[in-house]
Amino acid sequence: MHEAQKSFAVLANPFDCCSNLTSKLTNSIALATRGECAFTAKAKTAQAGGAVGLLVINDNEELYKMVCSENDTSINVTMPVVMIPQSAGKKLKGFLDHGASVEVQLYSPNRPVVDLSACFLWIMAVGTIVCASLWSELVACEQVDERYNQLTRKDGPNTGTNYSEDKEIFEISAKGAIIFIITASVFLLLLFYFMSSWFVWVLIVLFCIGGIEGMHVCLVTLLARIFKDCGQKTVQLPFLGEVLTLSVGIVPFCMVFAILWAVYRHASFAWIGQDILGICLMITVLQMARLPNIRVASALLSAAFVYDIFWVFISPLIFHESVMIAVARGDNTGESIPMLLRIPRFFDPWGGYDMIGFGDIIFPGLLVAFSYRFDRASEKGIINGYFLWLIVGYAVGLFLTYLALFLMDGHGQPALLYLVPCTLGLIVILGWVRGDLHDLWNYRKGRMENLVDEP
């Protein structure tokens, strides 16, 4: 860094640096905005004008590699070209517009082989699945009258209704799994072609609504577990009937939390709020949605496996770029899709975030949660059961995802390419070796037949 040469920054004129420049750039570093022409064209124009470097201001805060097009086979650019975040570019331009002299020193810092953010994200993903699977076992409070756990009208205690039987559980079917993946593909294409700021805002609002509900459910359950008396106090509300006093107090807090995240979602600390809302949402989803057996799990995860690979690796052959990666980045909108966990790279001088999508946690998480229920129903222990081994399999699959990300120099990876074989493949092989494959495959069907045969 100390040996790097310093040069003065000069605004390119025209500012997009796509045509012959009228500004004097001799021995200076040009500052230009992104867009209107290829990065290579900007570099050639700035170099022809005498610049010794080029700073390209991105149109948002996330930074991406500047790549050459397929036709650029003989590029003669000898100066450094660096992309900088939108906020940094605005500050530099503001100084230069006011006549200040800005001296720039370009150097290439050393990047860590593995940033701690990847380790924390790995722990968050694995921990979310473990918590969701063990949620009822670890934090469910027997003294809480669950009829009043939500802000929805419930039947009174004298109606003879058993809440545990009426609890809303969505059981996934093989047909529903395929339809869901097809619908997700159509929605992804709509985002790819018609993504705009208002479209992303719709997703942000939906994420906030889901996050509020998820945080509310988690907090009510946790606090009722800690403060057992809170699970018994109720209040009568218009239109809602009798609800928990604790629930009434928590809902406004959850709403304020989600609104503050939405307002400050571009702040450096916004990832904390997004991850909290996202984890609560996924825990709630994994409590509400269930796989009845690995026959349905095979349909869902196999379809998701193909979905992930197609939209990351194969879609560039059809749409000229990876649809999944483009949508996740929120290209041309200045906004990013909130349906993911993210954490900043703490020790990477280039900054940025490590991320994992909700689907990479929820899809395998459904199978892991099923394995826990199967182990309990079959009275299996930790070692001869399936839950522990699927947790290990998911952790290994996620590790392989990050390893592939590193080996492929940061190119986006379809995480389910590694997670599905390490979870679905593992339970199928273990079930076959142990002789449980038939029971795993037809688990729900057999259970229902036993219930019908009982007097």
Strand bridging mode 170-171 / 53-57: unpaired
Catalytic residue among 275, 360, 375, 436: 360
Task: Give the separation between CA 140 and CA 34, rounded to whole angstroms.
Answer: 53
**DSSP SS3 for 342:** strand
Note if 360 is an active site residue: yes
Task: Give the separation between CA 431 and CA 392, rounded to whole angstroms.
Answer: 16
Cβ density class 236-259: b for 16+ within 10 Å, e for less:
eeeebbbbbebbeebbeebbebbe
Task: Give the separation between CA 91 and CA 55, rounded to whole angstroms.
Answer: 13
Note if 354 is an active site residue: no
Catalytic residue among 115, 275, 308, 354: 308
Q: Are 66 and 48 in contact (CB under 8 A)?
A: no
Name the β-bridge partners of 343.
354
51: left (phi over 0), alpha (psi -120 to 50) or beta: beta
Side chain identity at 313, as an amino acid letter?
Answer: F
CA of residue 379 relative to chain centroid, distance: 35
Q: What is the CA radius of gyration of the chain?
A: 27
Task: Give the separation between CA 294 and CA 67, rounded to whole angstroms.
Answer: 43
Find where tokens 């200045």 sit.
334
Say which residues have a Cβ less than 8 Å from residue 453's Cβ, sequence separation at least 6: none
> Active-site residue numbers?
308, 360
